[in-house]
Amino acid sequence: MIAGVSTEFNPPGPEDFQLPPIIPGVDWFTKPVLVAGLSVVLIVWFFYGASRKSAIVPSKLQFAGELGYNFVRNSIARDAIGSQDYMKFVPYLCGLFFFILLNNVAATIPLVQFPTFSHIGWAYSAAILSWVIYNGVGIRKHGLLGYLKLQTMPAGVPLWLLPLMIPIEFISNIVVRPISLSLRLFANMFAGHILLLVFVLGGEYLLLHAGSIALSGVGVITLLMGLAIAGLELFVQCIQAYIFVVLSAQYIGGALADEH
Amino acid sequence: MSQQEDPKPTPNTSGDGWRVLSYLIGGILIYGGIGFGLDRWLGTQFLLPVGIVLGAGLTILLLHFRYGQS
């Protein structure tokens, strides 16, 4: 390869997440909107198909649907909210879990390859929804003052320390929770996607454009590492969907609890 | 599913670490913020770090009472 031909390597950055509209002129219809819409269609189709013909001996589809549903119902909702009133929240938690899961895993699916929640607005919306729900059910059960007392008076703290603890409890339970919920999801998806871009684009550049055999060899190793990173990311995508829903369920459980 | 409903299932504690993190952020934020505000108001410079350390310390104490005794 001629030395002068090799072009400058442009490292990927946040601008790689600014995708053009799919249909020119329709500015709101971007790839994340398309992926989120497709995920909703897929989830509705899957659970409708799984529950349409409920049989005692389940079909494969029904079995898969029940497996997913029971996972959210038993090991997330019931454990976190308690067996008294968890059933009310299972539809929300189940829908939330599969929506986040599918939109995260979309980053790994070939041709789609974009995590919806790497656009922070999506993460904010999901967190605000959970925030409104856990505060709403708490206020409805305890009344506004009772709920504030529940969320700001930590149990087991000596009386003289209580005035110092109340601000901490208030800030962390009412203010920090939705922020950390959304930032954790957003940052994991954003960082994972950009990490993959670095490995794949960097590997491709080293392999084809760097202009020496040794660097091409490094490029092959980089691409193989990228493959390993993609596997790690698949794991992170599932974990993040799980932790978002577990925390939402725990916040609901905490808001409904009689005392800590 | 003829699954036995366990009346007292073991609580799911997989989110506890994240909740502790949000306590730590909250404690540092509120007392660091108070320190920052007092610094701006009084024209001093030492109250922000004092507030941050105080907030972190108080939060750890709170976590001890909240999670350390069960």
Q: What is the DSSP string of chain A?
A: --GGGPPPP----GGGG-PPPSSTT-TT--HHHHHHHHHHHHHHHHHHHHHHT--SS--HHHHHHHHHHHIIIIIIIIHHH-TTT-GGGHHHHHHHHHHHHHHHHTTTSTTT---GGGSHHHHHHHHHHHHHHHHHHHHHHHHHHHHHHHHHS-TT--GGGHHHHHHHHHIIIIIIHHHHHHHHHHHHHHHHHHHHHHHHHHHHHHHHTS-SHHHHHHHHHHHHHHHHHHHHHHHHHHHHHHHHHHHHHHHHHHHH-S--
Does B57 score more than 60 pLDDT? yes
Cα A210 from Cα B37, distance rounded (Å): 53
Q: What is the DSSP letter of B7?
A: S
Q: Can you give the pLDDT at residue B11? A: 62
Question: How far is A128 from B66, CA to CA, in rounded Å?
Answer: 26
3-state SS assignment for residue B46: coil
Say if CB A22 and CB A32 are below 8 A apart: no
φ/ψ (deg, to 5) at A47: -75, -30
Residues of chain B with Cβ-Cβ distance to A76 below 8 Å are: 12
Angle at A98 between CA A121 and CA A81, to 5 degrees: 95
Distance in angstroms (rounded) separating the CA atoms of residues A140 and A147: 9
Q: Which residues of chain B make contact with A66, given a CB cutoff of 8 A?
A: 1
pLDDT at res. B2? 47
Are A168 and B65 within 8 A, CB to CB? no
Host H or E run for residue B18 = helix B16-42
Q: Label residue B66 by pLDDT band (50, 70, 90).
A: confident
CB contact under 8 A, A247 and B55: no
Q: Residue A67 and residue A162: Cα distance in Å, rounded?
A: 45
Work out the end-to-end distance of chain A between its first and last CA atoms, rounded to an integer number of angstroms. Answer: 69
> Which residues in chain A come in under a pLDDT of 50?
1-5
Provide the angle, in degrees to the nearest 10, between the axes of the packed helices A177-208 and A120-152: 150
- Measured CB to CB, residues of chain A less than 8 Å from chain B are 66, 70, 74-76, 78-80, 83, 154-158, 161, 164-165, 167-173, 175-177, 180, 184, 242-243, 246-247, 249-250, 260
Residue A174 burial by CB count (10 A; 0-12/13-18/19+): exposed, middle or buried? middle
pLDDT in tens, B9-46: 556 667 778 888 888 999 999 999 999 999 999 998 89
| Each residue's pLDDT tens digit, A19-62 | 888 888 888 888 899 999 999 999 999 999 888 877 777 788 88
Q: CA neighbours within 13 Å on the CB side: how many for B10?
A: 2
> Is B6 near chain A, with CB under 8 Å?
yes
Q: Residue A25: its pLDDT value, please? A: 82
Give the mutation candidate from B2, B4, B14 for the A interface (greatest A CB count, under 10 A): B14
Give domain limits for chain A: 3-8+15-256
